[in-house]
Structure 1
């Protein structure tokens, strides 16, 4: 976490944090600004009481109305762009600037009440630091600028001793607000970090770091099928199984077997696309790859690269032994632009799993591939007519 900004140092982590709290940010912004608008308008009555119906009263009314319009415009953009992370920050920053500027106009036109106005500014500073959701560095800058401007006005209107006392109170308010805001921002991010740690543990396999079986069936596969069907995209499912893994465990021991699993999973994750594909440890020595926006040819090409990588890169265990293994692959592709009306998660997975067992029965260290067709979906489940993939065709 950045020391001065109190934000996550990695931009992607900070962006994910902001997105996670986006709904809370929008709600807090609406509630706080509505209260601010109410009190800004309510205190317009004090302008009339202090100045009567004068030119100054009209200028103050215009200033207060400007703040209200800024709030309405900002909340409108927040409502019309609910998925945007930047809009609430921009709205909060502009509204804080307008609010402080209009308040300084009030201070300038009502100089006889500057002591009471200093207390009001202290409250406004706390609101800026703590209650209006914004980046701390922006809130701090706006608060310091407003405080400095107020002190300049006070120095011009009050004796030096009184101006100094007032300045010290405002500095204290800034200090209290800054400390509270830093603690608030840090607690929010610590809470998010712990939540993400628990989420990571709940969806990841502890040995390999891949997604686990539950996450595949609860989230990954249903969402990828739904997305591919909605956008009429291609989708591929690869089921991979390490050949003769039980023999590897019996020969070298379970710790060496764990090293093999970590090594193979590392190759699977390295050769797939980080932001599009999902690698899942399904159980034991079996892995599942969900390839988004990938057709039959792309899936087969990837499976062959993975097959060669596993076969030609032996694992080195803790005792320095080199352990060579191979893997078999079942590749089921589907194009939702031309097929897929009858596809379900269970059918798609069962078809790919059946192809894997065909690959293992045909000698292992090989690939079986098929492409889904609606008129043969039942046949694919009961007696799949898959095709062996000749690895010698790959350059």
Structure 2
């Protein structure tokens, strides 16, 4: 979870995308409020255009440009309301509104050379909004802020109406505004990501079994399994689970001690994590020596084949103990599957888990160290007889 401090973003693009999705509701609310507030004042300052230039055609054109920027901001707010889950839209809306608004502001400044000092003060306030008030990617905020400042500085040089002393002072003020904005925006962006990283680490600690490193039953209480089943239904894909139990685990504890039992548990958990897909499947310590493996997009045949490979690998392996002794163990596996696009999918995850539990105990009654599986489906609704 390292942070690239130059870009003020997570170094891992997937983690950065997860962060942006997490903060998107708050950012969109802040963005809409910033757009509406800024649009109202941007139009209101059209009064200064008329006061400076008089009721001329140029003044009314400038006022019209201000109104156009405000309408663009309103359209951006409407787009955010229609697509509240789109991170790219939020970023593009921010950049478009800021770039167009600053371009119109520079046009206004060009037609008001006598008010250049006041316009510089206005630009300084706008830069603070670019860096801090409008939520955006840090690199985009820097690019927009520096780009607008360079354009304004070029306008000052071309205009040539200022003394060299005033020109240097104004350019220094531009540099100061960008520097302070850069420092404040970078600090804010880093602080947000540090907070998110701390929350993620605490969540990880809460969701992980400290002995085996697998997920614990807390994730089941948080609805992990129901979400996976709902996702399978939505996309028409299969979902399988494997319920695993180490055979005669109490005998291992009684014979070799609980430290040896812990080593066997860790070895079995490591094997499960190694033989499953890291970013797709979930390995959960279900309780004691029982583990639950959740396999999205996996039909019954694939889940049974995986369980058989795990069973064979664990039966062949030996767990080293202090003093040179080694422990051998086996495990039993019950598999249940909700097939893709089944006419009668299970009503809830309890049915899928219950099916895996039944198959597991059937293996144990049959001598252990085996794999059994079944399709789990809801009973079809009874047909109503016509009168």
- Asked whether the two chains share a fold, i.e. TM above 0.5, the reply is yes
Question: Using the alignment, how far apart are the partners of 2:76 and 2:296 within structure 1?
Answer: 38
1:178 to 182, 197, 201: 182
Q: Are 1:33 and 2:53 matched, yes or no?
A: no
Aligned position for 1:364: 368
Query: Pairwise CA RMSD of aligned residues?
Result: 2.1
1:375 positional shift: 4.6
- Decide whether the 8 Å contact of 1:279 with 1:290 is kept in 2: yes
Aligned to 2:130: 128
2:56 maps to what in 1?
A: 54
Aligned to 1:389: none
Structure 1 residues 373 and 33: alpha-carbon distance in aligned structure 2, compared to 1, 3 A threshold:
closer
- Cα pair distance change 1:2/1:229, threshold 3 Å: closer
Q: 1:154 to 1:266 in 2, by over 3 A?
A: same
> 1:94: how far off?
1.6
Equivalent residues of 2:344, 2:380 under 8 A apart: no
Counterpart mapping for 1:166-205 below 5 A: 166-205=170-209
Q: CA deviation at 1:373?
A: 4.5
Q: Distance in 1 between matches of 2:17 and 2:226?
A: 25
SS at 2:241's partner residue? strand
Contact kept? 1:239, 1:288, Cα under 8 Å: yes
Closer, same or farther in 2 for the Cα pair 1:183/1:277, shift >3 Å? same
**Equivalents in 2 of 1:112, 1:323: separation in Å?**
89
Q: Residue 262 of structure 1 aligns with which residue? A: 266
How far apart are residue 319 of structure 1 and its match?
Answer: 5.5
The Cα of 1:336 is off from its aligned counterpart by: 6.3
How far off is 1:344 after superposition?
A: 3.3
> Which one is further off, 332-341 or 188-197?
332-341
Give the aligned partner of residue 327 of structure 1: 331
- Gap change, CA 1:3 and 1:54, over 3 Å in 2: same
1:152 paired with 2:154, answer yes
Given the two structures, how large is their TM-score scaled by the length of structure 1? 0.89
Distance 2:321 2:131 in 1: 54
Moved more, 54-63 or 136-145: 54-63
Q: Distance in 2 between matches of 1:93 and 1:342?
A: 47
The reply to whether residue 304 of structure 1 matches residue 308 of structure 2 is yes
* Corresponding residue number in structure 1 for 2:225: 221
CA distance in 1, matches of 2:141, 2:323: 57
Matching residue within 14, 17, 37 for 1:15? 17
User: What is the aligned counterpart of 1:291 among 290, 295, 300?
Assistant: 295
Q: Which residue of 2 is the match for residue 77 of structure 1?
A: 79
Q: Any stretches of 5+ residues in structure 2 without a counterpart?
A: 382-387
Contact kept, 8 Å, 2:36 with 2:74, in 1: the verdict is no
Shift of 1:317: 4.6
Q: Compute the displacement of 1:170 (Å).
A: 1.7
TM-score, length-scaled by structure 2 = 0.91
- Distance (whole Å) between structure 1 residues aligned to residue 330 and residue 67 of structure 2: 73
Change (3 A) 1:318 1:45: farther
Contact 1:222 1:345 survives alignment (8 Å)? yes
Following the alignment from structure 2 to structure 1, what is the Cα–Cα distance between the partners of residues 322 and 109?
A: 73
**Is the aligned partner of 1:337 residue 2:319?**
no
